[in-house]
Chains A and B, each alone.
Chain A
Amino acid sequence: AQSVTQLDSHVSVSEGTPVLLRCNYSSSYSPSLFWYVQHPNKGLQLLLKYTSAATLVKGINGFEAEFKKSETSFHLTKPSAHMSDAAEYFCVVPGNTGKLIFGQGTTLQVKP
């Protein structure tokens, strides 16, 4: 069965510094993988998705993620954090029938 584990429940960075949100996956085959973001009182928004075309995936708002099969990881990064990046981030793997399997989430706090 597919699953994802987000290694940090809470990450705090200063504005302008790099962001790293960690995700490991478990799958019996090379999966698709997604990162979604959830701002307070707003709906979930797709940040980026990996579908085996390229291991380095660029998303919206300057985020990117690298699929590393040897490490079963799909970490999310951004070179320079902005205050507006403060939100909840979810690493997601699709299950059978297309349903999404979410990680527990990582809260990103950005300090001025």
Chain B
Amino acid sequence: GAGVSQTPSNKVTEKGKYVELRCDPISGHTALYWYRQSLGQGPEFLIYFQGTGAADDSGLPNDRFFAVRPEGSVSTLKIQRTERGDSAVYLCASSYTSPDTQYFGPGTRLTVL
């Protein structure tokens, strides 16, 4: 079956702009996670959804970052007033439940100029 998909695969934006990154989890997976991977680092947790609600948003770095999952499937990560330090690969993962094996998407590479 289809795995986790993320769009776009690459996003280049200018400092100060607003961006949205989309994640389509594996069908039937109730748990969805967002991570951020900076160059040369391991992924860092951002936010976890169980169904439609954010069960843990402790990894969001500041209030410019926000994520939604209105119908318990697709999720969108939103970044306002982007900064150069936001440049990274944003990874999405889903699992059937939590805790359980997480399956990762290919990521969205965000570059803020």
Q: Looking at the complex, which of A12-20, A61-69, A75-83, A96-104 is the stretch in contact with chain B?
A: A96-104
Count of chain A residues with Cβ under 8 Å from any Cβ of B? Answer: 22
A46 in the interface (beta carbon within 8 A): yes
Count of chain B residues with Cβ under 8 Å from any Cβ of A? Answer: 28
* CB-defined contacts of B55 to chain A, threshold 8 Å: 97
Q: Is the pair B106, A42 in contact by a Cβ cutoff of 8 Å?
A: yes
Residues 95-113 of B at the A interface (beta carbon under 8 Å): 95, 98-107
State the main secondary structure of chain A at its contact with B: mixed
Additional A-B contact list (13), CB under 8 Å, known A97-B56, A102-B35, A105-B40: A32-B99, A43-B91, A43-B105, A44-B104, A45-B104, A97-B55, A98-B98, A98-B102, A100-B33, A100-B35, A100-B93, A102-B44, A105-B42
- The residues of A with any CB-CB pair to B shorter than 8 Å are 32, 36, 41-46, 49, 90, 94-105
